[in-house]
Every structure is written in structure tokens, then in C-alpha cells.
Homo-oligomer: A and B are copies of this chain.
Amino acid sequence: MSKIEIGPRVSPYPMQVVIVGTIVDDQPNFMTVAWMNRLNGNPPIWGLAIGKKAYTLKGIKVNRTFSINIPSIDLVAEADYVGIVSGRNVDKSKLFEVFYGKLESVPMIQECPLCVECKVYDIVELPRTDLVLGEIIAAYTEERYMSDGKLDPKKINPFMLTQPDNHYWGLGKIVADAFAIGKTITE
């Protein structure tokens, strides 16, 4: 079938949903972000794009530290909520059980299977967002989210966002082994 051109403002399919934790005006604040990924292996740097008016950005710029928390599906309503309402108008500090790690001013979410605390590596100004690059200083999980000493995606049970249909999705089934199935092409 032949291709048709659609408007350029499309999204990837799908985008992982994370919750960013900061201290803003002396209070823990949380915001959902789907424009996020790993960007450098060593040192570990993750990047997230945040709208320039976000209250969270204020905390990141003052403290130069923040957390990224990966929620499981049982937190989907809370994650959606902290993406809808601004910390300017609503106190989101009591929504989760908060814990702290090595860095100052980095609230993390006890209920999330994987939490990382970051120092700002750099902030890249884009037209409508700031791309915050964070170097991961430490990562936290629980034994119950691991299998054979590794984090287990099925136990983490993350969810992803697709747009413009605006749905959250769970992980499906394993379809292949990475860095392995491709070898069948050369054989």
C-alpha cells in the first residue's frame, strides 16, 4: 500500500510514563512526564523534556537535583493526576510515601518499583520545553521487583502513553531476545 502524508506533530508509540520528584518552595512536588529516555550509558544520563511553565522546572533549577520514579500500573490514577494538576495550585506532597537517598532535595516515591536520583548534568533550551539532562547518582528498588539479580520488567509492571488517542498501556508479551534474533538474518 502507498504512504500518505500526515501532519508532522506525531508521537512515538509508545512513550514510558515516569513521575519526576522535586522540592519546590520547601515542599515535595511530583509531575508526570512521558517525554523521557536514557541518553548516555556511562555516566548514566537520562533526559526529560518539561514544559517551560511547569512548577517542577522551578525546583529543578533551584536545587539542581531531582528524582525520576517509574510507577507500576496500580499507580496509574495517581500518575495521571499529578500530570493534570500543577503544584502551584495543589499540594501533591501527601499523595505518596516519600523517601530520601544520598542527595539533598530529592524526594522519591516509596510506592514506585524503580526510583533514581539525579544531579542536573545540563539543561538544553528548546522552543517550548527545557530538556533537563540528569546524571543518575543512585538507583533504588526492592527485591520483589527483581528476578535472578536483575530488574524484572513484568514485576515492575510499567505503563506507557500513546497520543493523540490518549491511552495508557501495559507491557505485552516478550516477542524476541534482543541482540540475538537479528543473527537469524545473517545465517
How many protomers of this protein does the assembly include? Answer: 2
Beyond A39-B49, A166-B177, whether A182 also contacts B79 by CB under 8 A is yes
Evaluate contact between B186 and A141: CB separation under 8 angstroms: no
Beyond A169-B174, A173-B169, whether A15 also contacts B42 by CB under 8 A is no
Within the complex, the shortest CB–CB distance from A105 to chain B, in Å, comes to 18
Closest to A108 in B: B3
Judged by a CB distance under 8 angstroms, whether A156 is at the interface is yes
Evaluate contact between A126 and B45: CB separation under 8 angstroms: yes
* A156-187 CB contacts (< 8 Å) to partner B: 156, 158-186
Judged by a CB distance under 8 angstroms, whether A25 is at the interface is no
* A62-79 CB contacts (< 8 Å) to partner B: 70, 73, 76-79
Give 1 or 0 for each of A115-154: 1 = CB within 8 Å of chain B CB: 1100000101011110101001111111110000011110
Evaluate contact between A164 and B150: CB separation under 8 angstroms: yes
List chain B residues, Cβ under 8 A from A185: 77-78, 81, 95
List chain B residues, Cβ under 8 A from A73: 175
Q: Roughly how many angstroms separate A142 CA and B172 CA in the complex, as a whole number?
A: 24
Beyond A39-B131, A131-B39, whether A153 also contacts B181 by CB under 8 A is no
Evaluate contact between B153 and A178: CB separation under 8 angstroms: no
Evaluate contact between A169 and B175: CB separation under 8 angstroms: yes
Residues of A within 8 A of B (CB): 1-16, 18, 34-47, 49, 70, 73, 76-85, 95, 99, 101, 110, 114-116, 122, 124, 126-129, 131, 133, 136-144, 150-153, 156, 158-186
